[in-house]
Each structure stands twice: as structure tokens, then as C-alpha cells.
Amino acid sequence: MTEAKQILVLTADAGFGHRSAANAIAAALTEEYGEACIVNIVNPLEDRRVPALLRNSQSDYDKLVREMPKLYRFGYQASDATVPTALVESALTVILFEVMRDIVKRYQPDTIVTTYPLYQAPLEAVYTIRRFHIPLLTVVTDLMTVHRLWFHPAVDLCLVPTKPARQQALEAGLEAQQIRITGIPVHPRLSQESRPPAEIREELGWDPALKTALVVGSKRVGNLEEMLRALNHSGLKLQLAIVAGGNDVLYERLQGVTWHAVTHLYNFVDNMPTLMHAADCVLCKAGGLIATESLACGLPLLLIDVLPGQEIGNAQYVIEGGAGERAGNAVDVLEVLFHWLMNEGARLAERAQCARDLGRPRAAYEIAALAWTAAERDSQAITRRSRLSGLTALLSRFGVRWQD
């Protein structure tokens, strides 16, 4: 009997997108290869040896972007260049080397897939010092505005979501054969639903005959209550399905509203694919995950919040592709939805077709196949003596134990 292949998926919990991409890849691997494949999802930043500043950056990310957007934008742009990136990668190598070395030693993977950009440089250091190479696949989770840290020359494959992201990878120095356009992986459930929306609505207890807007909130979405208040009093023939996204304060407030529109309230859900397939459009922030999932379901997006950094590129991709529009305030929301619904929803149907054209619902399966193919190759011994001496000097200078 052939021994099962070990595939290690590295991720982080800075927002929902990186973890969701990891879960999607793991689900596709399990579905496609069953017991022949053992998948482990690991967040290296959970290790207590990681400095608190870096560990806490996962939970502080949204607060920083929301409360200090100019500072975040400055930091993002200032670090997105060759020299700053090299300095950051050296720092990450010092900080994460021991953690990465021990993770590799513990799981003995045949392939490593990462959905977070901070792990590539430390992994390359582990490979160089231990003189072997495990296939490494990086899955980029931003649609268009991609930070240079994502593009590391040591990867076997850099899996990007779009043509603009591919061009950025080339400009950052990756070779064409290292880059594949796959889309951002979404959970396999999104591609498996085939029932018509009206049937799913009836199952959910929604009005099957009404056009339905899925409104997705969270602690990171601003101005949502104001927009919902306008929709509630608009008189539009529209049904609202509102997901607070774990924002308990928002959910409690919405429960106290007198709803004039047909409305269904949820706090946190675990059946988002079902809700998406029951809807006609989605109102949300321009996060990579929600945008990708919506496109995979053929859902037009009304983007009600766009944070600085990569979300600007996400919004640009959706809007330029004809799959959605941006609304900065409640009046904009009403204007866009009025135009989408007029003439029996002609413009809504156009936006939906554009969303289907952009969507990549089977990206997780494509990435799973690439990971599996890489796992079937043997790990390679490598010799990088020129790089080795520099690495050991760097690690020794900061007291990192690099010898086994």
C-alpha cells in the first residue's frame, strides 16, 4: 500500500481570507484524494516564540486599517519596494526560522502550500541550511493590488488570481514558468449547488418570488446601519438577507429595528454558500474572500466599503469587469439598486453575467491538483553555499539556533 502524501497548508488569521483559502484547498484535496492525502493546516504565528507584535498583528490589522487608514496606506506603499521587502524578509527569517524549522520537522510534508506571504523567506532559509527542498506553492489571496512580499523567487509555483497579478509577479522577478493563474480558492460547496435560487429561498424560509439582496457585515464594515435604514424605507421590491458576520452589537441593534422590507436576520452563519446561491446580489466590503466567493456564485457586488491597500485593487477588478459598482453612502446604494432592478432587472442580469465570467468556482480543485502533483515529486537535496554563509551569519548575529 502506497504511503499517504503529507501536504502542509500554512495560513494566518489576519482577516478571514487567508484561513478560508486554506480551508478550501484542504477540502478539495480531501475530496479528490481521500485517504491517499493527509492535510494539515497550521498557523505559524500562533507559536508562542513569535513576538507578540507579530502575533497580535493578525487581530490588530482591521483596527489599524479602520482607525488609521493613512498610516496603513503609507506603511503598505513604503514597504512595497525591492529594498524594504528585502529588509522585511531578513527580519522575518530571524523571527520565524526556528518556528518554521520545527513545523517542517514535525509534519515532514511532501508539499507545502502557503496562503500567507510572510513564510516564504524563513522557509527558504530552512531549506538552505538543511540542504533540501520541499515543493512550495504560494496562493495569492488579493485580486489586483498585490504586495511584493507575495512574490518570492524560492517558490516552485506562485498561484495568482488574475492577469494583473501575474504581471506584478513578473515585474517582481518571478519567471513565467513559476506563475499560474488559478483564481482565489473558494470552498468546493460553492461549485456544487445547482438548484435555482427560488427553490433555495423556499427552503430557507425566504420569499421565493422576491429579488433578494444578501447584505454581509462584520466589525470591519462601516456605515452599514445607515445604508440599511435607507433600504428599509425605500419601497424597493427587494428582500433583505442580512448577516452581521459575528458583530454582536450590530446584530442586537438590527433585531430592534421595525422592518418594513421583507428581512431575514443572521449573526454568524456556516452556510454562506447556500445564502449566496439564494440571492440575486450582495452588498459587502471589498474583501478578497467575499468578492471571490460572490464572483464564483455569479453574484453582482455592490461594494459599500473599500479599505486602503489591497481592497482598492479588489474593487477595481470587480468594477472594471462589469460585475459590480461602488456605493459610498446610503443615497448611492439606493441609486445603484434602483437602476439594477428597473426594466425587470435587466442591468442586474448583465452584472450577474459579468460576475460569472470573472468567477473561478473550481480554483480550489485546480490548486489541489497542482499541490498533489508537487507532492508526488521527491524532495531534492540542494547546495547553496554562498547563500548559506550569509544566512548563518545573520541568524547567529541575532542568537537564532540554526544548527539541529
What does the pLDDT average to over 30-40?
Answer: 95
Task: Identify the weakest region by mean pLDDT among 12-16, 21-25, 307-311.
Answer: 307-311
Query: What percentage of the chain has pLDDT greater than the value 90?
Result: 63
Q: Which residue has the higher pLDDT, 32 or 386?
A: 32
Instruction: Pull the grid cell for residue 366.
Output: 485546480
Residue 122 and residue 89 in contact, taking contact as beta carbons nearer than 8 Å? no
> pLDDT for 377-404, tens place per residue?
765 555 454 466 566 766 776 667 767 6
Based on the fold, state whether residues 144 and 25 are members of the same structural domain.
yes
Closest CA to 230 of 91, 316, 332: 332
Query: Cα(258)–Cα(270) distance, rounded to whole angstroms?
Result: 26
* Residue 200 shares a structural domain with residue 113: no
Does residue 191 fall inside a structural domain?
Answer: no
Question: Is residue 403 in a domain?
Answer: no
The Cβ of residue 349 has, within 10 Å, a number of other Cβ atoms equal to 14
Residue 378 has what DSSP assignment?
P
Q: 8 and 113 in contact (C-beta within 8 Å)?
A: yes
Best CA proximity match to 81, nearest among 151, 13, 24, 2: 151
Which pLDDT value is given to residue 132? 84
Q: What percent of the chain has pLDDT over 70?
A: 86
Residues 240 and 333 in one domain: yes
* Closest listed residue to residue 360, CA positions, set 196, 168, 179, 187: 187
242, three cell numbers: 442580512
- 85 is a domain residue: yes
Asked whether 213 and 239 are in contact (CB, 8 A), the reply is yes
**What's the grid cell of residue 14?**
489576519
140-152 confidence digits (pLDDT tens): 998 888 888 999 9
120 and 53 in a single domain? The answer is yes
Indicate the pLDDT class of residue 221, thresholds 50, 70 and 90. Answer: confident
- 83 found inside a domain: yes
Q: pLDDT tens digits for 248-261?
A: 889 999 999 999 99
Residue 180 and residue 241 share a domain: no
The predicted structure's pLDDT at residue 376: 87
| 151 & 258 share domain | no
Residues 79 and 172 in one domain: yes
Helix (H, G, I), strand (E, B) or coil at 51: coil
Q: Could you report the per-residue pLDDT of 78-125, keeping only the tens digit for each?
A: 455 565 667 788 888 888 989 999 999 999 999 999 999 999 999 999
Both 39 and 178 in one domain: the answer is: yes
Q: Which three cell numbers stand for residue 394?
A: 545573520
Question: Residue 44 falls within a domain, yes or no?
Answer: yes
Pick from 62-76, 301-315, 328-342 the range whose average pLDDT is largest. Answer: 328-342
Write out the H or E segment, with its range, that includes residue 352. Answer: helix 330-358
- pLDDT, one tens digit per residue, over 78-91 is 455 565 667 788 88
- Does residue 28 sit within a domain? yes
Q: Are residues 145 and 206 in the same domain?
A: no
**Residue 371 placed within a domain:** yes
**Stretch 335-343: mean pLDDT, rounded?**
96
Position 386 scores a pLDDT of: 45
Q: How many CA atoms lie within 13 A of 166 on its CB side?
A: 14
Distances (CA, A) of 92 to 73, 108, 118, 123, 254: 21, 22, 7, 10, 43
Q: What is residue 131's three-state secondary structure?
A: coil
The confidence score (pLDDT) of residue 267 equals: 92
Pair (295, 375) in one structural domain? no
Q: Based on the domain organization, do 150 and 254 belong to the same domain?
A: no
Question: Mean pLDDT over all residues of the chain?
Answer: 87
Name the packing angle between helices 82-107 and 69-79 (round to 10°).
90
167 phi, psi to nearest 5 deg: -65, -40
Please tell me whether residues 124 and 227 are part of one structural domain: no
pLDDT tens digits, one per residue of 151-186: 999 899 999 999 999 999 999 999 999 999 999 999
Domain that holds residue 230: 196-358
Domain CATH for 169: 3.40.50.2000
In a domain, 404, yes or no: no
Q: Write out pLDDT tens, residues 44-55.
A: 999 999 888 777
pLDDT band for 14, please (50, 70, 90 cuts): confident
Q: Give the single-character DSSP code of 209.
A: T
Q: How many structural domains does the chain have?
A: 2
Q: What is the pLDDT of residue 82?
A: 62
Q: From edge to edge, which strands make up the β-sheet containing 179-181?
A: 37-42, 5-10, 111-114, 136-139, 157-160, 179-181
What is the distance between the alpha carbons of residues 217 and 295, in angstroms, rounded to a whole number?
A: 18
Residue 71 pLDDT: 45
Stretch 19-28: mean pLDDT: 95
pLDDT over threshold 60, residue 359 = yes
